[in-house]
Amino acid sequence: MRFRQFAFRYLVALSFGAFVFSSCSTDLDPNAEYKEVMVMYSILNQEDTIHYAKVNKAFLNTNSNALTIAATNPDSTTYPEEGLVVKLERLSTKDSSVLNSYPMERFVSTNKEAGTFFGPSQVLYRTKPNQPGPLTDENAIYRVVATNPKSGLTTSGATQLVQRNESSRSQRFSIFKVSYISSGYPPLDQIDTSKYEPEKLNRVEFRGPVNASIYSVKLTFNYVESDGVTSQKKQLSWYIRNNFLQEAKEIRFDVEDRLFYTNLLNMIDTSQDKPGTVRTAGDILVTVTAGSESLATNFRINNSFSIFSQVKPEWDNIKNGTGLIGARVQRVVKTRLSQAALAELINNSQYQKLKFK
C-alpha cells in the first residue's frame, strides 16, 4: 500500500477549527518523488474589514517519515517571502467572470488563539485595509487564488457568503430569545434580554440565514475580580451548542438547567484568592455563528466514518490542492443576570466560594 504523507506545520482554520487530509491507494511505490501540494484555508465573513487566508505547501514523499522531513527541512510547509502571489476575487454568479481582484499580503501573526495547530507564529495572507473592506455583495461568489511563480502551480477555492437577508425584516438572520424572559417575538437583535435566569431552564431561539447549514452558540460572561488593591476585568466563554447541523431556519433549543453556575464553578480558579478577593458580575454576550454549506459538508463527512472502516472519508472544495474555503456570519446579543439569578450566585452555599458580591 502506498501512503501519501502530507506534513503540515501550524495549519489553522480561521473559524470552526482545522482539518487535515490524508489518503492512500493500493499500489506500493517506495521511491515516489517530491510533489508540491498547496494547502489553503479561508473562512470569509462579509462583516470583517480585513479578510484572511492560510496557504501552506504540503510535501509528498514516501522515502522518509513526515516528521523527519519537517525537522530537517524548516521551510518544508511554509512558502518563503515573495514565494506566493495570493489574491481575493469577486466573481459574477452569471458566468464566473472576475469582477474585482484584491491582493493579499503575507504577514506573520503572533496572536493566534490556542488550538490544535497552535504555534508561536503563523504565516497568513490578508487583504489590505479598505481593499475591499466589508464584502457588500452578498450575492457574488468570492474566490481565493494562490500562485507559486517559481513552480507555476495555481490553487484556488471559492464560496458564496452566508446571506444575512438584511433587506427583509421577516427573514433576516436574527436572535429572538436567550431565555424564557423576553417581550414579544420581534425579528431584531436588540431584544429584551435584561433578565438572564440561568437558575431556570433557558431557551435560545433565532432565525438562521437562508443558506446556512451549521451553527455554534457561545456564551461569554464578563466579570471583575478585585483583591481590595487592584481590579482586573476577566472573561469566560463556553459553547452552549457547537457545530450542530440544522436545515430549518427557525431554530429553538433548551439549555441545561444551571449549566451557567456549573461552568463558573469549573472555570473560575479560586486557588489564589486572598481574604479580600471579591468578584462582580458583568455583561453576558450570546453569540450565534452561522456557517456555509461547505463548512457543514466538511464537518458532516469528516465525522461520518465508522470504527469498522480503516479509511476516513475526505472532502475539500479546493482546485489543484486541498483544504477548505467557507463563509460564516455572526449575531450577538447582550444581557445581564436577573436580580434573582445574581442573588442565587451570591447567596447559594454551593457558589459562595466564587465570592460574587
pLDDT, tens only, 77-130: 788 888 899 999 999 989 999 999 999 999 998 876 655 455 567 899 999 988
Contact, 289 vs 242, CB < 8 A?
A: no
**pLDDT score recorded for residue 201:** 58
Q: What is the mean pLDDT of residues 223-247?
A: 94
CB 52 within 8 A of CB 14: yes
Mean pLDDT, residues 227-252: 93
Sheet order of strands, 36-44 included: 231-245, 212-226, 278-292, 322-335, 36-44, 52-59, 122-127, 98-109, 85-91, 141-147, 154-160, 318-319
Residue 341 pLDDT exceeds 90:
no
All three cell numbers of 315: 472532502
Please tell me the pTM assigned to this model.
0.79
What are 219's three cell numbers?
A: 456564551
Domain with CATH 2.60.40 in the chain: 174-291+332-354
Predicted pLDDT at 25: 40
Protein fold of 174-291+332-354: Immunoglobulin-like (2.60.40)
* DSSP H or E stretch at residue 155: strand 154-160
Question: Which grid coordinates belong to 98?
Answer: 472576475
Separation between Cα atoms, residue 149 and residue 167, nearest integer Å: 43
Strands 174-177 and 2-4 come out as: unpaired
CB atoms within 10 A of CB 107: 12
| Phi and psi at residue 294, to the nearest 5° | -65, -40
Q: What are phi and psi of 152, to 5 degrees?
A: 85, 0
**Residue environment code for 51-89, b if the CB has 16+ CB neighbours within 10 A, otherwise e:** bbbbbbbbbebbeeebeebbeeeeebbbbeeebbebbbb
∠ CA 198-204-208, rounded to 5°: 160
Give me the mean pLDDT over the 145-159 stretch.
96
